[in-house]
A and B are shown apart, each in its own frame.
Chain A
Amino acid sequence: MTRSDPVISCRNVWKIFGPRPMDALAQLRADPQARPDRHVTAVHDVTLDIMPGEMLVVMGLSGSGKSTLVRCLSRLNEITAGEILIEGRDIGKMSESELIDLRRRKMGMVFQSFGLLPNRNALENVAFPLEMRGQSRASRIARAREMLALVGLKGRESYFPRELSGGQQQRVGIARSLAVEPDIWFLDEPFSALDPLIRREMQDEFLRLKAILKKTIIFITHDFDEALRLADRIAIMKDGRVEQCDTPDRIVLEPATEYVARFTAEIDRARVIHASGLAEPLTGRSAEGPALPGGQTLREMARHLVADRRDWIPVADAQGRTTGVLERARALDILLGEHV
């Protein structure tokens, strides 16, 4: 497989809870607006591709099906219809032992309420997945120590979960999920159970780890700000459907549905939109002079935008190549608000 093949690929995935899911599925396929009795459609015909090294944030309010979707991707939940390919292999067709092997080598997951074993200390919790795959005691303890040091818990190895704060417990959860060096990293609302200050700190910690580790990441959250802050791409879910799946810039600039627009309405867009996101193609326009760095948000270069008198300002990527031009008036509108 080549670099550009998706790591995870969902094709028309459905997950329906209830006594007779297949009947409900037939009903829903005939009429997408139907609400079958005693059945809950947690995932409604979702098709998604996740590229290697990409970070996809799945955002939705509670009950939108985001946690179920991620549990389908790891086959903690069996899907009702559709297929999920991990590196080209259909996980629905895997045997129990193949699935266990996949989880032992490829996947790591972080849980909202941490999911730590109360009878094991931090070190033993982190070593748990290594123990499951039969690694020797010495090597798994060494690896677990390394992982705890990575998440900043050196010196707390022998503490039990109940002796750690929420943030520290989640650090243990993160260390455990990374212990097997997974290629795919699932995080199910990892910071939702933490209070706001700790949450911010853990997000920074997460960005640091993300930069070092370069994994394919699926991150679940109900917090739109968190999604904007962390994501390469955001999938917004409602009633089991993906309403829009796009970069933060485009979601803010061009919400696909009214539901998405309601989320973005209250957002300070200048903090989200990057110069590159607002840039238009060079075709026919000439722009001269120093270029703006495409990776910065409008807010970050606000002073410059106000001072620069050019109507069209070139935008450059990280390598310094000009990739497009930015209309100053539009950028100022976003920065200052359109109706003054």
Chain B
Amino acid sequence: MSMAGNIPLRPHQDLRPRVALILIGAALVLILGRNLLPPGLMRAPDWLVLPFADWINVIFAFLRDDLGLIHVTRAFAAMLEWLLDVTANLLYGKNRWPRLGPLPWSAVAVSMAALGWWLGGWRLAALSGGTFVWIAVMGQWQWAMETLSVIAIAAPFSVLLGLVMGIMAWRWTWAAKLMNPVLNVAQSLPHFAYMIPVVVFIGVGPKAGAIVTIIFSVPPMIRMTELGLRKVPEEVVESGKMGGATAWQLLRKVRIPTARTEILIGVNQVIMQCLAMVVLASFIGMPGLGQKLLQLLQALKIGLSVEIGITIVLIAVVLDRLSKAWAMRQPVHHDETLPWARRHPVLVVWALALVAAFALAQIFPLLHQVPRAQALSVAGPLDVLVDGFIRLVDPVTTWLRWFLITWVLIPLRDGMLWLPFTAVLTGIAAAGWSVGGWRSAAVVVAFFGLIALSGWWDRAMITVYMVGFSVFIAALIGLPLGIWAARSETRAGRMLLLCDSLQTFPSFIYLIPVVMLFGVNDVAVVAAVVTFAAVPLIRYTIEGLRGVPAELVEAAHMSGTTRRQMLWHVRLPMALPVMMVGLNQSVMFSLFMVIIAAFIGTQDLGQELQRALSATDVGKGLVLGLAVAFMGLAVDHLIRRWSESRSAALGL
């Protein structure tokens, strides 16, 4: 097998490095000649800055008032609110129809345990039931149920919407062509950018939270549905056709059931996205765990925030495990001669336990509701513990904070702001050109050029420096950790499990420990972003290294490589394309995190986005959101291009 055969040979390929070098040279000239540059080349001149925000505002005003779209959205929101009231009544006793609730917490916990048992055995039952016991005992029932009652409505809506749109994208090429770029942008828009239009159309509160959650969580469902339908084996479809199925029967009885696993993984992603968004929706007045956490963090009540944080993490892990277990569940046959009860033991036990829970709740009110006054709390001792710990590490963190701010962060930021925007654009063009020729250069320059034209260049550069620096530090930590973990099977397994769990946590959670350690400043933001961004790097490093074909490793062993040679000459080069996927995710995660972290104090796009949110300025909010998305998409384009051509060259 010749490697050269796999590389698409293009006549201009040899020119690429040369053009890239010329562009780098041009960028250097612009930087060195900075003092001689006309101001128009330093920053986009005023006449070039286009009032995108005003245009968007005009469009939204037109949609909202002239087209009367607001009546449609309000009607939809009213319908949604009715549904939300039903779950709110059942879960935490909001005084609305059907006025049955609240269900005793013990009944809910028993049901969740039964669900866990049915889907994944007794371990999952213990985790799932235990989580709800913890919530009740810690007196967080009301908040947690406020959060879950929204997820219970938003997730099914989102799944249904995603399913229909995914089927459309699979069925019609034009729909896929239309949706693909929209989904790309949608999946790189920061959370807050979704909130502002919703506030304009719906207002604030639970229903706005539910709607923003639905919109935010739809894209992965569309993607997974389309992927699943495309992956259905041709022979299964043909066997359906030969069975005389009509097009509709094929879709409903052959394609969708066969794509079950992918579709359910889509459901899993929807649920996790819902949780992440619901927690953040506290910024637009969504009550629940997120709002509580936000208040406590702002008041620097660490012990109580940690309690809430634990609850959110537990809920995230439970929802993730349950929905994944559902996706991976394989049908098992039952001996038909056994009686019904023996074939459905979970159902029987659940029914009995449910009756018992209701009965006991009548006798012991504590099993029905745990009032705040009687709830347990570990906040007191936790605060003492944390205080002690902080006093212990304070000299270190204070020094670190001082060092980072004075010697790294501020110089870096000033450096980024000092650069002429033309030099940055030329440098980006060089990167694009070396990776994918003039097309890639044009794509990335267009993305960054639009940011320059939006007039938010300085803020964007602050975001770039924070993301760049954080990803750099994350790589310094994540890559060696990944390489170390990949050395043994069990260690790799454990590390991957840890990374999996960390990735299910809503991003908001990462702020608790960093605020605790560093207070409210840039260093805390960087620390949060670094932690969040290191996870995908570790994960993909392990997966890349473990994915190197065993035959290749054996061949290298037989050639007498040392461990170091093996790593540098065999494993790392083969794993690099996969590791770059991790880097790509890492950059995306950092962008999201930097924006979220804005409320603990940054001066970048995130801070402006927060301001736009409080002023409900749709135009400004969307422009800022798109600026963030464009940065993400440009990086995504560069890394993906590089990784693809590298994989092709390696024949992977």
Contact = CB atoms under 8 A, between A and B. Distances in A.
A112 interface: yes
A96 B248 CA distance: 13
A111 interface: yes
Given A108-B242, A117-B257, A132-B244, A158 B235 contact: no
Contacts of A101: 244
Interface in B310-351: 330-336
- Kindly name the residue among B238, B241, B243, B332 whose own CB sees the greatest number of chain A CB atoms within 10 A: B243
A76 B235 contact: no
Given A117-B257, A119-B257, A109 B333 contact: no
B249 interface: yes
Given A162-B330, A163-B333, A100 B244 contact: yes
Given A118-B258, A119-B258, A103 B333 contact: no
A74 B235 CA distance: 14
Nearest to B261: A118
Contacts of A173: 239
A119 B260 contact: yes
Given A103-B243, A133-B244, A176-B243, A115 B331 contact: no
Interface in A274-313: none
Contact of A109 (B239, B257, B258): B239
B333 A115 contact: no
A199 interface: no
B258 A160 contact: no
B242 A107 contact: yes
A158 B243 contact: no
Contacts of A71: 238
Nearest to A111: B235
Interface string A113-125: 1111111110000
Contacts of B249: 132
Contacts of A259: none
Given A119-B260, A121-B331, A162-B330, A113 B243 contact: no
Interface residues of B, number: 25
Nearest to B260: A119
Nearest to A182: B242
Identify the interface centre among A107, A108, A157, A158: most chain B CB within 10 Å of its CB. Answer: A158
B384 to A, nearest CB: 55
Contacts of A103: 241-244
Contacts of B242: 74, 76, 103, 107-109, 129, 177, 186
B260 A111 contact: no
Interface string A138-155: 000000000000000000
Given A158-B334, A160-B330, A100 B246 contact: yes
Nearest to B239: A115
A154 B243 CA distance: 22
Contact of A129 (B236, B238, B243, B257): B243
Contacts of A157: 336
Interface in A82-115: 96, 100-101, 103-104, 107-109, 111-115
A186 B257 CA distance: 25
Given A158-B333, A160-B330, A117 B235 contact: no
A263 interface: no
A214 to B, nearest CB: 21
Contact of B332 (A109, A118, A132, A163): A163
Nearest to A77: B238
B336 to A, nearest CB: 6
Nearest to B330: A162
Contacts of A96: 246
Contacts of B240: 117, 128
B257 A111 contact: no
Given A114-B235, A115-B236, A119-B257, A160 B333 contact: yes
A117 B258 contact: yes
B241 to A, nearest CB: 6
B254 interface: yes
Given A117-B254, A117-B257, A158-B336, A112 B244 contact: no
Nearest to A161: B331
B233 interface: yes
Contacts of B254: 117
A119 B331 contact: yes
A113 B333 contact: no
Interface string A159-201: 1101100000000010011001000001000000000000000
A278 to B, nearest CB: 40
A115 B330 contact: no
B103 interface: no
A105 B62 CA distance: 58
Given A103-B243, A104-B244, A116 B236 contact: yes
Given A119-B260, A121-B333, A160-B330, A76 B244 contact: no
A9 B241 CA distance: 22
Contacts of A100: 244-246
A259 B240 CA distance: 36
A86 to B, nearest CB: 14
A73 B249 CA distance: 22
Interface string A8-33: 00000000000000000000000000
B235 A112 contact: yes
A111 B238 contact: yes
Given A118-B331, A119-B257, 5 more contacts: A76-B241, A121-B331, A128-B243, A129-B243, A157-B336
21 contacts: A76-B242, A96-B246, A100-B244, A103-B241, A103-B242, A107-B242, A109-B238, A109-B239, A111-B235, A112-B235, A115-B236, A116-B239, A117-B253, A118-B331, A121-B333, A128-B253, A129-B243, A132-B243, A132-B246, A158-B333, A160-B332
Complex A-B, nearest 6 residue pairs according to Cβ-Cβ distance, in ascending order: A115-B239, A104-B244, A129-B243, A115-B235, A158-B333, A109-B242
